[in-house]
Amino acid sequence: MFRFLVGAELARLTIGLPESVSIYPGFLASLGYLIIAGILVRAALFGGALLPAAAENKGLPNLAEMATIAIAPILGILGGLLPLFMYAQHVRLVLFPQ
């Protein structure tokens, strides 16, 4: 998704780089980002399942329904976006080292 969205701009920025330099993470780093995304999404879904159960135990069934509907999907999306930001940060650091 990242390469599709910013590919044209990255092609413009890499004009001065030698062709042997790869700006994208390697296979193992990309696999690591996917594993991190999987773990974060699973943790968000698990947490989303525990929160309503805890609210029901305290006698707040409406809160349990609202948490299931609103909070769990948001956490799942954030869990997927964090590895995308890590991937983009890797590309940025290759292009503009500090």
pLDDT at residue number 48: 72
Indicate the domain borders of the chain. 38-92
pLDDT per residue, tens digit, the chain (98 aa), is 787 888 888 888 888 778 777 888 899 998 998 898 888 888 877 877 777 777 777 777 676 677 677 777 787 788 778 888 888 898 889 888 87
pLDDT at residue number 84: 86
pLDDT at residue number 28: 94
Nearest to 36 by CA among 87, 89, 94: 87
Nearest to 5 by CA among 78, 90, 67, 84: 84
pLDDT at residue number 55: 72
